[in-house]
Structure 1
């Protein structure tokens, strides 16, 4: 699998050490943004008690942060191309910090819900441009390995917030956590200004028409296959990880223990991401990794929730669900960059991937909650919903394999 575009994409050559340093810092920026997405699960019991939320309402509170991504992934991709990738990230960090602070200050169920939706927009403005910006900063031969590291930003952010969030919540309430994250995000914004090189001057270079970029992106079957696979993966992963603290609480495991167990499950996802980057660099077929990751998620979801195994075996199954499933996101990010129809559509391709991922993450938690409610509150039927999503992803991955093997054009 080879990249179709030059890593510079019109920018002047960056010094190797400075480019790598900036690319690694961008992974940290992504982790900071992910903290906002995953600050809710450890605080969910407090919010449920304070605002009297039902299980399904809690599912929507988990997923409402994805509303901005569902509606604005592709538009933000267009905006990033116009205003510059670095500038888009800075605006996103400012949006995250402001929405998090307002959510804590205004302190009502409606405002928390609204600010979570705004945080989703800010998160997208941070996460969407980073792959394209990393591609600009580093040589093409190192792309798959660095994108494997980038694929870890969500699980690493998850494990950090689940561990530290539980500790912060033991010192105060959810408002304290929201305010601390706002301050951290503001610090990341200031560091981005000094570490990440400015966007290259475009001069008199004409911009491709927005409609042309959109139609070129959305007419590509490869883009659709990659984006929908991302949605199928993300919906089940966020549903399982997001509800784990609640599941543990129902089993009598509370406080820091529940946070620690959930953090371990989320954190091992990074192992799969790193492995995918190395395997792709060594020539592994992308669609093989996708089928392996999604197929393992089906087996492990059944073992964890449906097979009525002992508690230790269930925990190990959830660990494997997350770890081997981690092969999927890093592989899809590399596919998104290499299968984009042309260099100008890289940002819109990643934007459409993020949009479909956000749709999956919005649908996943309420779908699982609905299945559990229909089963009388029994979490053992969780695997039915997640496995259906994984099976759809496998079908899409097989199509990706067929098209890449036969050299079908986008």
Structure 2
């Protein structure tokens, strides 16, 4: 059965300020992740980077997350969520400061790896803090809100970067994210009394046994692969839309940034809608499948050159908004899958690894599809295929969840 917040039973009421403070930690590290892709041309010029080195700087965090996100989740279950989250914010701060003093490619890459470690530490531990600060009744919605941290952070830095770079180059963007990280660390400390997670019972299983128990359930794996399919679809749009607007429609950098930012940000209300629907007990598997039907059909519209540009952009917004149901459905599942607070980090690490897997394999697959005939229309098969797979995964999630719920009732 899902765990209670404390040994004395569930909390009397949810501390929404504490939930918001933990969520903003995710927004801060997401902005820290997204800043490099948006300022890459400035970084290349300042550090004299060729395309290969620029690619490594851009993908360092993603490569790290694909490799060790699950290990970070298990580390969080061992050290404690609050301690790991605060440590992650501090490491991200140190990485950002180091970048400001970097003089060459090696030091810049090292700072980026430190920022990546901080990002993973926060991403796998903050959901446990949200869970501790919320009642069982509100926990699904609170974790649904958490699902919006990545688009909110990336969208925020995207919309501010043109202004910040005019004021102080790429360094101004780094200073902004440093201020954001510091502010969220202060907020987390301010509400730390709401993040008390009960110690394990004397007869509780060791950390590795608890992690094996969580990962032995096939349901988290289905959810992780669903997340991978969605992130691949979303990343296809993130790669395609700025290129299309800049190279084929000759829009100014400001318009490219604005339209791309709006596309990313509409994912946030999609996540909030997903949290609301989950709060009303709609099955998460059906939400994943239904969202994937809409995103797949919308992707066809996005990559159909015969349609008007306004309609194609509307399809982009529809993909992003509807797709928000997927991360909220996946990330909130720890409310029912975790048998103790010590399993939350492990599960969130698995989901994070799945999401980054989609982003990791997406760019080379997009490049191969477009390079085959030199036409972006050929990239359509990638998001549409991922959506079709996600439909099947969503239906499988629903069937398995129902089966496990019936088994729990039978043994109760």
Asked if Structure 1 and Structure 2 have the same fold, meaning a TM-score greater than 0.5 normalized by the shorter chain, the answer is yes
Instruction: Tell me, in whole angstroms, the C-alpha distance in 1 between the residues paired with 2:50 and 2:240.
Output: 14
Distance of aligned partners of 1:201 and 1:148 in 2 relative to their CA distance in 1, 3 Å threshold: closer
SS in 2 for 1:67: helix
Distance of aligned partners of 1:342 and 1:225 in 2 relative to their CA distance in 1, 3 Å threshold: farther
2:88 to 83, 89, 92: 92
1:368 to 366, 369, 372: 366
Match of 1:143 in 2: 139
Which stretch shows the higher mean deviation, 127-136 or 194-203?
194-203
Instruction: Tell me, in whole angstroms, the C-alpha distance in 1 between the residues paired with 2:327 and 2:118.
Output: 21
Q: 1:172 deviation in Å?
A: 3.0
Instruction: Tell me, in whole angstroms, the C-alpha distance in 2 between the residues paired with 1:144 and 1:221.
Output: 20
Q: Is 2:247 the partner of 1:250?
A: yes
Question: Aligned pairs, how many?
Answer: 404
Give the 5 Å matches for 1:103-182: 103-182=99-178
On the 8 A contact 1:239/1:364 being kept in 2, the answer is: yes
Distance of aligned partners of 1:310 and 1:48 in 2 relative to their CA distance in 1, 3 Å threshold: farther
Q: 1:49 deviation in Å?
A: 5.2
Match of 1:222 in 2: 219
Match of 1:306 in 2: 304
Instruction: Tell me, in whole angstroms, the C-alpha distance in 1 between the residues paired with 2:58 and 2:311.
Output: 27
2:273 to 272, 275, 282: 275
Distance of aligned partners of 1:324 and 1:204 in 2 relative to their CA distance in 1, 3 Å threshold: closer
Match of 2:230 in 1: 233
Instruction: Tell me, in whole angstroms, the C-alpha distance in 1 between the residues paired with 2:395 and 2:198.
Output: 41
Match of 2:338 in 1: 340
Q: Is 2:95 the partner of 1:64?
A: no
Instruction: Tell me, in whole angstroms, the C-alpha distance in 2 between the residues paired with 1:407 and 1:134.
Output: 25
Which stretch shows the higher mean deviation, 210-219 or 288-297?
210-219
1:263 to 253, 261, 264: 261
On the 8 A contact 2:12/2:135 being kept in 1, the answer is: no
Q: 1:398 deviation in Å?
A: 1.6
Instruction: Tell me, in whole angstroms, the C-alpha distance in 2 between the residues paired with 1:214 and 1:204.
Output: 16
Deviations 1:231-252 (A, max 9, x none): 2212321342255333322131
Instruction: Tell me, in whole angstroms, the C-alpha distance in 2 between the residues paired with 1:299 and 1:285.
Output: 22
Q: 1:358 deviation in Å?
A: 1.9
Which stretch shows the higher mean deviation, 181-190 or 222-231?
181-190
1:28 to 14, 24, 31: 24
Q: 1:48 deviation in Å?
A: 5.0
Match of 2:192 in 1: 196
Which stretch shows the higher mean deviation, 258-267 or 152-161?
152-161
- TM-score for the superposition, normalised by structure 2: 0.89
Deviations 1:101-120 (A, max 9, x none): 22232143444344333322
Which stretch shows the higher mean deviation, 41-50 or 393-402?
41-50
Distance of aligned partners of 1:311 and 1:80 in 2 relative to their CA distance in 1, 3 Å threshold: same
Match of 1:78 in 2: 74
Q: 1:194 deviation in Å?
A: 1.9
Distance of aligned partners of 1:187 and 1:63 in 2 relative to their CA distance in 1, 3 Å threshold: same
Q: Give structure 2 stretches of 5+ with no counterpart.
A: none
Two-structure CA RMSD over aligned residues (Å): 2.6
SS in 2 for 1:6: coil
2:387 to 370, 387, 390: 390
Q: Give structure 1 stretches of 5+ with no counterpart.
A: none
On the 8 A contact 1:60/1:365 being kept in 2, the answer is: no
Distance of aligned partners of 1:312 and 1:111 in 2 relative to their CA distance in 1, 3 Å threshold: farther
Instruction: Tell me, in whole angstroms, the C-alpha distance in 1 between the residues paired with 2:148 and 2:109.
Output: 27
On the 8 A contact 1:42/1:245 being kept in 2, the answer is: no
Match of 1:297 in 2: 295
